[in-house]
A and B are shown apart, each in its own frame.
Chain A
């Protein structure tokens, strides 16, 4: 049917000329059909590495972000750790050097408070990095990437676990850098062994798995970053202060000790201090491992189960 000239018609006319420029491909391989679609990887874990790598690569190629996250533990170590010189408290009472060391060792499990704090800072950087793992879920939801990923056959569990693994990868690399800074600033390395350091990082890995799963889980349904920030602030400092990261449990009031004893951060610190500083520790190493393994397993499994429920509305 003939039509009156209208803007639509004009547009069609325009396109008729554009039409001739439809890109002809250099090679003659058919584009969409009839080339048979390739055999797809249908394992439920496909895409997990691709999604993890996406987040890690972004972090890795942004050195400023990395530097900024390292400032906080460096400040704790360099300013707080160096200023809080328990040794001078004791020596000012006129105690002998050996008495001073004995008091310090009995309180902190090491004669150097700085080394004690350094182990706590390893846990702290893991805690802070893990708590922000949920933020990237919130942003992926807000900017539509999450929906895009969910419209592909990628496993819902893989979407969640990728967020957990990227957080674990980031927090462990940051912990390694914090450890190096601590050593440079004078951490006691007399008891370092290769196995001990590896074992300490196994503790950190388990704690990071558990905490990252927890925070990713809390973010799964949220599209509001303010809420997510509030949750992070609500949980972050209590988890740090109600642990043995900054001060030993023995000097705390008994009600606080009760909280500290369920906090997984304390178990990681206890194990890490035994392995890196040769501290006596409150629990046997195997018990610390078992507690953290249970914590990590519980939250990763709950996270995967919830992802199926929450990601399909």
Chain B
């Protein structure tokens, strides 16, 4: 799919991100922020890093974007090794950080041109391209206003435009919707889908919003305490915690139909508590009518039936555990998160 734009890159026989046993230990606290993480990201997919605060998501992004040196392990981004060719990695990828990094005192347009200058792009290209990107994120009318007058959503869109200025084939998004209202979040989702579908970009995003990962990502890695605990598509993750649950209430308490229901091919497990059957099944939509037919064929009456699909929440809690987190974070990152939230809401 992404044939044309990769012409400026070396031909990739390997995945666009290749991470092998990557670890990062911070010397000050002896904290292993990222511990022996391995995964691959294919060209053109949206890959999500899902995990609680302090799980190591941002540390991983910082290593892949060469802001942090890994303590051990190997990582290749766009075909370049992060240790040996950091400058080439920086040229090939776009980064939309978690914080609002745009300069408050400058206009949106000046900010995007400054980003282009940092990439060494000629003005003959960065001026039209910067304007295009501002139009893409619908900021053209506010382009010449100071960023300090922008709302949280406008700032987030500006960050997105700045991250796209260098024609990246791979875009890193760190918590792209942190603190945003529903409308802005929908807009950011729209842009992410557009980048994937129309521009065939590969996106690597972190989030701790489950519905966001579910809605946007082709594949998700659940990360916790610096470890990747599970990788798979949202459907695979949901399926891994067990099938659909059908709850059927029958008017007649006897006889017990559990063994009969268990005979239905799609059904995996049945529990009967006082005439209410809790049935685990693989395809709930197909199993439910069969269960109803069975009950009726015995001359009994169904009074209530409900079908629940497993959610990513279930999967997530299954893999990361249910206990509340003592946030393992430092003053600096707390500060930057506070600033981000405050600006998002401005």
Contact = CB atoms under 8 A, between A and B. Distances in A.
A253 interface: no
Which one of A2, A34, A152 has the greatest number of beta carbons of chain B within 10 Å?
A: A152
B5 A32 contact: yes
Interface of A: 1-4, 6-8, 11-12, 14-15, 18-19, 22-23, 25-27, 29, 31-43, 46-47, 49-51, 54, 57-58, 61-62, 142-145, 147-154, 223, 312-313
B189 interface: yes
A33 B167 contact: yes
14 contacts: A23-B138, A29-B132, A31-B133, A32-B195, A33-B2, A36-B8, A40-B121, A58-B106, A142-B335, A144-B101, A147-B62, A150-B67, A152-B90, A153-B91
Contacts of A43: 120
A58 to B, nearest CB: 5
B97 A33 contact: no
A35 B114 contact: no
B23 interface: no
Contacts of B106: 54, 57-58
Interface of A, secondary structure class, is loop
A38 B136 contact: no
A23 B4 contact: no
A32 B115 CA distance: 16
Interface residues of B, number: 69
B332 A223 contact: yes
A39 B8 CA distance: 10
Contact of B125 (A19, A38, A49, A313): A38
B249 interface: no
A98 to B, nearest CB: 56
Nearest to B194: A22
Contacts, number: 157
Given A150-B67, A151-B90, 11 more contacts: A15-B189, A31-B132, A33-B4, A38-B125, A41-B121, A43-B120, A142-B339, A143-B339, A145-B101, A312-B69, A313-B68
Interface in B75-131: 87, 90-91, 95, 97-101, 103, 105-106, 114-115, 117-122, 124-126, 128
Contact of B186 (A14, A147, A312): A14
Contact of B117 (A1, A46, A143): A46
